[in-house]
Amino acid sequence: MKKIVTIIYISFAFSAFAHAQNMVLSLGFGPAFYSVKSDNNTAFFNSYNTLYKNILNKPFATKIATPIGWQGVFAFSLGKKALYYSTITVNRAYSDNRATFINNDQRRMRFQFNDIKVDLGSGFRVGKKVAVGLLAGMCFRNSYVKSSFIYNDGTESFTNEKQLNGIFHSLKIMTYLGTSIDVQVHKRLAINLKADFMMGSVFAGDTYNDLDYTKGTINSRNSIPQNINEINNIGYKGLADDTKGVHIAIVLKYLLIDKEY
């Protein structure tokens, strides 16, 4: 897959400069959300629900709820009928999951995904106002799990009176393929619908590691166990960001430059 993405990058780059006839430079912003799948997080939620089933009023949902957030885009395109373009995208999305005990205390797991994506694409115009394209890219993800305990009086704690408390961090690089549709609604405005199909990590090392809040409190380990029953086992497998799925955004773009030559 990495070789395919690299070949697409190179071929798009050469084609763009060979056939350029029109240049568009734009900035955009809009809402974004993920449809995600994570086997690691599902395993953790299931193990937690099973361990505490007798004292839980409402267990964790076994899947990460759809992360919702925003996306900013810087886009550059060349061409008239055939289009060759590149985009740099910055987005952030959040998801929240809670388990509630019978005394109304809660274990909260808040997920935050910060992505920087760079892609190259090729497409074509449909009439004068619509452009459709395919793309390939790399995603640099900086994600967090903010694990806290909320007492029934509303106090939320990240500190070390509870083993799972803390802010845990993961870095990873992913590849993706996607599609994009632009509809120009004004001389300087366009609406962009973009769907990116996120694939696996380029390299291993995406385990969520603790920051400064509970260093060493989880049995001298810096990560959340994938199976809560192994929390006191020094060799437990740490929870990792293995999320895959589709990232969808609807962006309003302002055309800084739209020049024909």
CA 82 vs. chain centroid, Å, equals 30
d(CA 255, CA 167) in angstroms, rounded, equals: 39
pLDDT confidence of 190, banded at 50, 70, 90? very high
What's the N-to-C CA distance of the chain in angstroms? 36
pLDDT confidence of 118, banded at 50, 70, 90? very high
- Number of alpha carbons in the 13 Å side-chain half-sphere of residue 251: 29
* Radius of gyration in angstroms for the set of CA atoms belonging to the chain, rounded to a whole number: 22
d(CA 71, CA 66) in angstroms, rounded, equals: 15
Convert the pLDDT of each residue in 165-176 to its tens digit: 888 888 889 999
Angle at 106 between CA 38 and CA 212, to 5 degrees: 70
pLDDT confidence of 91, banded at 50, 70, 90? very high
**CATH number of the domain that 178 lies in?**
2.40.160.20
Count the domains in the chain. 1
pTM for the model: 0.83
d(CA 45, CA 225) in angstroms, rounded, equals: 11
- Residue 106: give the domain boundaries: 2-260
Angle at 204 between CA 168 and CA 194, to 5 degrees: 80
H or E stretch covering 71: strand 68-78
> When comparing pLDDT for 109 and 257, which is higher?
109
Average pLDDT over residues 30-56: 93
